[in-house]
Amino acid sequence: MAFCPPHETEDTVTADTDLDELLARLPQPSTREVFAEIEAARRADAARTPHRTIIPEPVLPPLWPHPDSGVVRFPCALGCGWAHAEDTYGMDEEPISIPLSASPEEIGRIFAERAERRGAVVRGRVESAVREHFAEAHKSQEPPVREVW
């Protein structure tokens, strides 16, 4: 099989294109616009309110190639030794479908909606496991509630 270098035109961006040259062609926001964006992000962050959950603080998994990489554990908040495990790699079975004509904003929206759906499913599964554990092992107690951002 012969190697054919890609046909390059003036607008073609390759790995060899000078990044500084490309960045120089992009429109630059004014200082006022940059500060307005920073201030808007600051205000949005200050306006956030925490929500309450019975999901305990997770124990994050070791890094790959460890056999337990990807398994997040949610230990009992009372320290009894029980933990609910979620395999973050194994549960990602939903195919990602993005139209070829999708804009960057649409691609971002598709991934954000997918993440919200998956997050809701995981939260429901962990909350159910915590409730079941407290019903069986800590019959007289309700799961402790904590605030998360």
Query: Is position 68 within any domain?
Result: yes
What pLDDT sits at residue 26? 85
82 belongs to a structural domain = yes
| Euclidean distance between CA atoms 121 and 128, whole angstroms | 11
With respect to residue 69, please indicate whether it lies within any of the assigned structural domains. Answer: yes
75 pLDDT higher than 60: yes
For the whole model, what pTM was predicted? 0.65
Cα–Cα distance measured from residue 5 to residue 3, given in angstroms and rounded to the nearest whole number: 6
Residue whose C-alpha is closest to residue 130's, from 91, 82, 61: 82
Q: What is the pLDDT of residues 76-128, one digit of tens each?
A: 999 999 999 998 877 777 788 899 999 999 999 999 999 999 999 999 999 99
The answer to whether position 30 is within a domain reads no
The CA distances from residue 117 to 2, 37, 73, 106, in Å, are: 46, 28, 20, 16
Query: What domain range includes position 143?
Result: 55-148
Look at residue 108 and tell me if it is in a domain.
Answer: yes
The answer to whether residue 114 is domain-embedded is yes
Assess if residue 34 is contained within a domain: no
Count of structural domains within the chain: 1
